[in-house]
Structures are given as C-alpha cells and as structure tokens.
Amino acid sequence: MEIENKLVVVTGAGSGIGRALAKRFSECGARKVVCTDLKEESVAETASAIGIGSTAERLDVSSQAAIDNLASRMEAEGGIDIFASNAGYGRRGGLDLSIDDWKKMMDVHTWSHLYAAQALIPGLSLIHISEPTRRY
C-alpha cells in the first residue's frame, strides 16, 4: 500500500493498536495523520507524539453525522486516502448487560463501518484490478 503523501484517518488512536497505527502511518510518510478517539486527552497525546503532520480530534464513530462531518471537512484537504477504522468499545457482563450497552457495542463495531463506507467510498478513486494473465 502506498502511504507516502496520503491523508490518513485512524479511529481509536488514543491508545493501543490505534496509537501504533497512527505512529506507523506517520513514519511511512503520510502527509497528514488525523488521530481520532472519544478520549480527547489521550488522542492529543498520540498526535503530540507524532508531531508535525498530525492532528487530534474527538470522534464518536457510532455517530453517522460525526463521520459525515469529518469526511466533509477532509475534502477541503484533498479527501481521505486511508481510513483505518480501529475504534472499539467493550463491556464485561455478557447476557447480563443492558440492551443499551449492547446497542452501543453494535454501533461501534458494526454500524460505524457502514457509516464510514457511505461517507467515503463515493469520493474514492477505486482502481480496478484485472485478473492476472494465466500462463499454461
């Protein structure tokens, strides 16, 4: 994957895998890494550790409006080239969890990906990869 000079968004970049992804995208030459998370303080730490070429934003991926807003704002900067949908949310308790807790997990782990696809795919330049020529 070509990363150099790309505008990258990483969700869940406040810690763990998201933070590591954001740092790696920067190390690989991304033009800008937009670090997003619900936790403003921790995502600010990630962006600060990366330095120039990164920003921190609070983003609730379970909100279609929030994802649409982010995609629209990034259009002014040439559009999002790579969207690393990494945010996660979990609660212990299994079947004893409330329906609201289950809905929140489904919003983050399922619906957020649909929201991102709807916001981003229409503007992407998709490359058609043909089937390789077979040699017999």
Provide φ and ψ at 39, rounded to 5°: -90, 100
Which tokens belong to 35? 């670090």
How does pLDDT run across 103-125, given as a tens digit for each residue? 999 999 999 999 999 999 887 65
Which tokens belong to 95? 């079947």
Does residue 97 surpass a pLDDT of 50? yes
Alpha helices in the chain (DSSP H): 16-27, 40-50, 64-75, 99-106, 112-120
pTM: 0.86
CB-CB neighbours of 58 under 10 Å:
14
Does residue 133 surpass a pLDDT of 70? no
